[in-house]
Structure 1
Amino acid sequence: MLSATVGDTVEVILSYERQGKNGNSKLVVTDQLPEVMEFDTDSPVQRCAEDGRDCEALVSPIPNSKDGYEVTLPNGDIKRATVKAQLTGHKASEKGQIRFFATIKQGFEGQTHFNEAEYFSCRGSGGKSERDRKKGSCVDTQTSNRVPITITGPGVTINGSPYDSAKDRGEPVTIQTASPGGTIEFINYVWNTGTDPQNYTVALLPDTAKSQVPFPAGTEYCLSTTEQCSAFSSHPTLAVQGLDAGKSRKIRLRVKLPDTVNAQEEGYFVLLEASLSSDPSDRKVRDTVLNRLVQITDSSSSVDMTYGRPVQGDASVPGKGPGPESEPVKTLSGQPGKSVTFDALFVNNTGGAIDTYNLQLVSASGASLPEGFTAQFVNTGNQPTANSGSVKAGEHVPLKLVVGLPAAATDGSHDFHVVAVSPVTGAKDRLTVRIAISDDAGLVLEPNGEGQVTPGSFITFAHRLTNNSNNAVDNLSLVLSDSLKSQGWQSVLYRDLDGDGVLSGSDTAINSPVSLAGNKTLHLLVKVFAPANASMGIRNVTTLTVIGEDGQRLTVTDTATVNTTSVVIIKEQAPWDCLAAVPVQFRIDAFPARPGTCVVYRLTARNEGVEAVQNVVIHDAAPNFTEFYPHGGLPKTTGRQVVQPNVSGTLINAQWPEGLQPGDSVSLIFAIQIQ
């Protein structure tokens, strides 16, 4: 290994030995210098004896009959020289050296590079042509050993990569769009490319001869190594202390745009420079990187209230789009003097900037609440609230709404509007809901189910048993029966603890009478097994009967049809930096990934059979030491029927109740971030 500092002149020695009994008339050695080395034109290329003595300068350029050399400079750049030396008149077993000098150039401190040469030899007057090769007069080109060259001294790189300390090649750190008055954040990295710990200064530079378009007048900047960044100014500086050799430090550049901006087609740039803090006048140890904003767009403010799930590009979300709706998106039943809870309200910020929304419940007639009704919104921390809190562009906030009913209310339906309005921009949306008031008590069991099952497999059906009264109902018997029990069909009843309609390890079998509190719902799952010898097209009807102490009987039926359809599933993946656009190209082969980065998965289920498949469900889980990354519109599904994925802890699933027709496919796409 060779250690050198910037500006050192080092000697390159290429030792050779002719092996064998016959001599050679020509030896050609070529050394393409690594980019850290410059060929020294002031020193000769020499041919020396084995011990380095008795040296003789070669002639330049290579003559026809004497030892010589030539230097090739790609595009005239001496910093990437290729040195080619030719020796003639070799004797058998001759040993010797080829020597020349090179200089270590700037900008590679702390890095290790390698140098190797390639060579070939010929007998007689061979010239390495194709004819010479066929005659056997020249041997094939071979390579020498690789010599490592380590450059010592201070050095610095600033770029947009958390993995590579290479100098910026002109590619700026880029953000695609921002809104007037908004704040964006560029992520840069300062690398210590030297051999000792160093302190650096990071600062913004004014517009340079590169003729880049600066950010609009009134823009303020903040530099920080942490997520906290509050000291905005026009020309901030940042001290990066104690950065070890070979390590990097994340630099956050936050840019606060003025409220009024004139759009420019070429985009906006700011130049960051990192330099040694100990010697700011030393122009040699410094580096720059461009940060670019492609465009500034004046995004309008808008909000969308939905029920059941957030917008996330799903056209079937109840309440999506401008309200109020002509029909309620959700109807709840309640008794006078009690309360009902709308437990899946979502406030979606569909605008282009962060916003906040006041919440209100009003009568559909536009007036305030009827006498005796009360309304209370509840946030995810189970705390009463009248405001959504700050909601970033493209994101959402879940809420609950508890409506108290007057004790003197009579039977009937009441329609209401759930209102979200921005006190800043005035953006507003209304969601229509209905409350049906009835003094009657009773149980409701729903719905009937239908699906397809393969021989020797099983299918599950989800049901809800609801107590619409205010009083608990005890000793309810739940009974299952199968129409084809004599042919081996069986069914088992489970309590669906999380109510997601999917059978999981936490769900428990029900083998005894149950009780159901007033205004509560019991989620049930019926698991139906088909025998292995079940015939194609045969149907089994499973009946679930609920029997009360007073003799009340409720029933639902589940019809399972035997089908030999073939569903295959393929899992693919793609690397993601968690910031840019979500990848659209996936692959099944492995790739490296580092902590802090993301991986996007796509699971595709395709029906390759000739019959339709019902109730298709795709399950997966976040790998160990990762967590789901719900950004960029993920998780999501694709296909003719777009559904909302369900995430629970480290598990994710999506269910398509309408199933798949022959040849159709659906996909579940989600992202995880590596811890």
Structure 2
Amino acid sequence: MSALCGWASAATPAGTIIRNQALASYTDTDGNRVSVASNIVETLIEQVAGLQVTSNQQQRATPGSRISFSHRIQNTGNEIDRYLIGAGNAGGSIDLLNIEVFADANADGVADSANSISVTPGVAAGDDFFVVITASIATGAIDGDTAQLLLDVISEFDTAVTGQNLDTVTVGTGPAITVVKSISPGSGLSPSGSHTITLTYENTGDAAAGDVALIDALPDGMSYVPGSARWSHSGAALSDADPDDLQAGMFGSVRFCAYHTSCVGLPEAQGDADTTSLNQLTAIFDLVDAGQRGSISFQVNIDAGLPTGSLANTAEFEYDIAVGTISRQFSNTVLFEVLADAGVVANGSTSNAINGLNEPVSLVSVGQGGVVVFDNIIWNTGNATDTFNIEVQAAQSTFPPGTLWQLLRDGGSSALTDTNGDGLVDTGPIPPGSFVTVGLRLQLPAGVAGNNSGLGFDLVKIARSVTDAGIADSVLDHLDEIVANVVDLTNQAPAGSSGALGQGPGPEASPVSVVTVDAEHIARFDLYIRHQGSRTDTYQLGASGTAAGSALPTGWQVQFLDPADNSVITSTGVLASGMSRHVRAEIQVPADEPAGTHSVWFKAYSASTGTSDVKHDGIVVIAADSLSIEPSLSAQLEPGGSVVYEHLLINNGNTRIDDITLGLDESRPDWSSVLYLDTNADGTLGPGDLPYDSPLSLLPGESVDVFVKVFAPADAATLQRNVTTVSARWNGDADLVQIQDQSTVNDSRVAIRKEQALDNGCDGQPDDPAGFGPDQIEVTPGNNCVVYRLTATNLGLEPAYNVTIHDYTPAYTRYRPIAVCSRTPCWVQEPAQEDVGIISAETDQLLPGDS
């Protein structure tokens, strides 16, 4: 009935299967709200390559020296990939010599081995790989010469995906400072510590450098440990305060200040967001001789509350040469990997992830045989996006046996599915600090009510981390009471009204009402059935010969009629709470029934909830001679179908009756019927039974079986009713007896089918308009969409009203409006552009066969 479109994020891992299932609801002809689920459709995410290379660098070097540059290669695709690496001269006044690329797996700015590489190992999606490029400066280079070095990186999966960095070397005689940064260990939880950062400096030039300043502004999430700094040339702790304090070492002295209010007037870090030197570590060496090497090391802690990912940090440095100051230079970039730390809270609060808040999730009551939905809030309290499997502890449930459960996504718009292929339904990915609402829908069995001896009813759900199966939390869903429906069967007026007889639970010890049979041996009772409860209900009608429910006496027949049109009914139809139904009960007794008062017990019974009431009435029988035909019957059939009613024609008198003629009459002119006699006396209509064609004779007490075969026209409408009147006449047609058979055309059923098609480029139209189907499709993430088509079809023979299709944007997708209906009127509700949520479409009715 409507088409819905979604798109998959480029970060969605390759191989992910997006599963989605829709729900539809409608009101049937009994007034009940019915929900049906669609088939599940699957979308397979394809691999997309991506990379980022950082960063362009500058360095000063002396003729004949060896230089190195550190670079970071990041996999920004959605699957593991390898990268082809090339490095070469790219301009400048001179060429570099002996250019090689080496792996730097620990990101310390130093080659891991003497073996150069031309391709990386496999790099997982979102991970990094570091390389070091080394080259030599020609000995004949002179002051002012420049060389440019190009790093070229190509995805092995998709060679069209590339990245480059351009490094620049300036040749100069005199000092040449390099700085290499490292951190150990390079990964940990949030919070954790301490971790050691080392800044190693070296003068690779041929003259001393003055006022060599090392600057390190730590990234957000990383905190300096006061008093932890050490200089390799002294070994003693460096004072964090007083930037003018000269602290002596084996080679020269250093002025040091770190994260202190006194750290003013120092070279400001270019890599942080402020304009003060207070929030950084600064070390200024008065002199670094040619060939001299040293290091500053210090401790850092990792702050609490950080998400998974990398904290990138680059040190800065500058120094003086004979003719001035070398402008700001940068070390290699080091990464600290914040590891995933799974956490989950399942509670009843959408405002706070406190364990136990709004728990248990409680409801006061629900009607007998009704539906109850508990909304549980699943919070990701870890520091990384995580998915949580949902486990229902059905075996430990105290809900009544026969309770059916179903897990639903936010608002009950669609069924919870398995988004990661591990065979368990789950929440889908939840970002850290966010939550998903998981609904537990319980369909209670019809015949159970009460409060479980005052304990109520409990069911536990567990949310378990996919990242770490040892991390889980449970939430308790509690229902105080299942409220029973109540029915009251009375005479003369509805229960609660003036004149009502037999109010309250039955059966009574003595008859409430006593009725004398008329000349046709029929006793007629006015009955009222009043329903009270939290949900609608329908009550079947019956009569019995004892309070325990045994059959009526031999030869007795009962039928229930609608007083408005005398149509035969077998139930009250749908009753809302407080409604009542007037029914006329007619009991036919045999003509030879002994005179006297006989008891009869009427019953109203709900097949869905088991609720019932029984009322005791009496029948006074006066013997009389007569001819009878019984019983009046009712049945349902399909358009173009037929139904057979069997009747018994009985001589209830004490004399022979001759020249009995039988007749048929239809209430609708387009219906027809044929009358047969039970010629072979087998009690069923068969090929050996002949159509009635001549008058009959019956001795006293003698009877004959008569069959009425009723045919409905092929174009009969749903709920169309026809009454066939069967008559018997005798005494020259002066005496007449007749009964009526009621035939009703009836059926109602709605089904929903979900299909999908690919929409590359997200233009809102399927690439192949004929390509819709329920089978799995493959889609490349990014600016590509899946178009869903949901079709609700009335497969029955009755209209379905207020038909609503529900769906929900599946995991890894965002919504692209607009949804379109195939019919009018139609009311659509949908999320905003690139949002997630419920999509629904409602129409007023579906006729049989309509979609």
TM-score, L = length of structure 1: 0.28
- Radius of gyration: which is bigger? 2
TM-score, L = length of structure 2: 0.24
Structure ranking higher on relative contact order (CA contacts 8 Å, 6+ apart): 2
